[in-house]
Amino acid sequence: MSVQQETAPREVAALRLHILPTDLGPCTVRIQKSEGARPSSSGIPDVYLHGAAGSWTSFLPLLAGAPANDRVLIDLPGWGESTKGVRLENFSIEAVARAITDVLSSLGYRRWNLVGHSMGGFLALHIAAAWPNQTAGVTTISATTFDVAEAARRPLRSLSRSPAFIGMLLLMRALASLGPCGPALVHAMASTAVMRLLLSPFFEHPATISARVIRGLGADARPSSFVAAAHAAAHYDFGQWRAIRCPVLATRGDNDIFTPRADLVRLAAVVPHARTVTIPGCGHFANIERPEHVQQLLEGMRSNMETTDGDHAATPKPATPGVERRRSI
């Protein structure tokens, strides 16, 4: 394991960089250390898991200020700075989840609170089911679950229902078939108007998204990794989530093209104590478009999680009155 200090963006507290071995290849991790003297600190880290077209940088808007608990930001195998030596032939939801928990154990953490965006939300829910004693809570931001899995399994049959995902999957398959030229082509487009046009459907107000964010999302696109993730989702058994015992808060944007409301309804059927929130005024990236709102939800979830710690079956209280919606079972 290698460790070094990294200069973070001005608005973000210092990050400590780690590179850790996993069965899927070396994994790059950044940690914001907590102020241990703060009364609100529980010692349970907040672990951020990005989506299939991102990296740890997609959470930058949520990292301002010194945290009460460690923040652990992982570039998942195949993305960000965790691409060198990645073994995508072994990629599955279970394998990536094992890599994540191995990383956390290597860092000395025995319990964790998971925050997952898109595919990261999918992974967070699996970890909560497979490691129930270690998972204190889960918050998903536009988790791509049931609808995406069905579309990846039957693309042609799902075209009318999930055109955005099918279009992206076909594009990523085409780029992946080009080998190293595929990512190079994506990176070349990252600073052009074409990339903004391609990413516009993911945002409620695309014109307000900075060029830096658009470039970053373009640079983080990994065609082969995206295709591997879609294949893994297509073959996943969602019945495993019935084993989840910790508090779960599942969110989506009200203009979300990848996470339909039906996904949250189905999640509540599988995990009856889960609570769901539709965040107004955003698309698939609420962590970018509505970071203050998401931060408020995370703080409420953390408070509820600590109140109910030790009783994993407890139902978390509403994080934001008037916004949260729950499916009764």
- Tell whether pTM > 0.85: yes
Strand partners, 253: 279
Question: What secondary structure letter does DSSP report for 239?
Answer: G
CB distance 67 to 13 below 8 Å = yes
pLDDT at 75: 98
| Spatial CB neighbours of 270, under 8 Å, sequence gap ≥ 6 | 238, 239, 241, 242
pLDDT at 64: 84
CB distance 40 to 203 below 8 Å = no
Cβ atoms within 10 A of the Cβ of 197, count? 12
pLDDT at 41: 57
What is the chain's pLDDT, residue by residue, as a tens digit (329 residues)? Answer: 444 444 455 556 689 999 999 999 999 999 999 875 454 556 899 999 999 989 999 999 999 877 889 999 999 999 999 999 999 999 999 999 999 999 999 999 999 999 999 999 999 999 999 999 999 999 999 999 999 999 999 998 899 899 999 999 999 999 999 998 988 898 888 888 899 999 999 999 999 999 999 999 988 989 999 999 999 999 999 999 999 999 999 999 999 999 999 999 999 999 999 999 999 999 999 999 999 999 999 999 988 777 666 554 444 433 333 344 433 22
Q: Is 108 helix (H, G, I), strand (E, B) or coil?
A: coil
pLDDT at 187: 85
CB distance 3 to 16 below 8 Å = yes
Q: Report domain extents, the chain.
A: 2-154+235-325
Cα 251 off chain centre by: 12
Q: Topology of 2-154+235-325 in CATH?
A: Rossmann fold (3.40.50)
At position 294, the amino acid (one-letter code) is: V
* Helix ranges (DSSP H) in 37-118: 93-106
pLDDT at 148: 96
pLDDT at 2: 43
| Residue 262 parent element (H or E) | helix 261-270
Q: For residues 7 and 72, give the distance between their C-alpha atoms in angstroms, rounded to a whole number.
A: 16
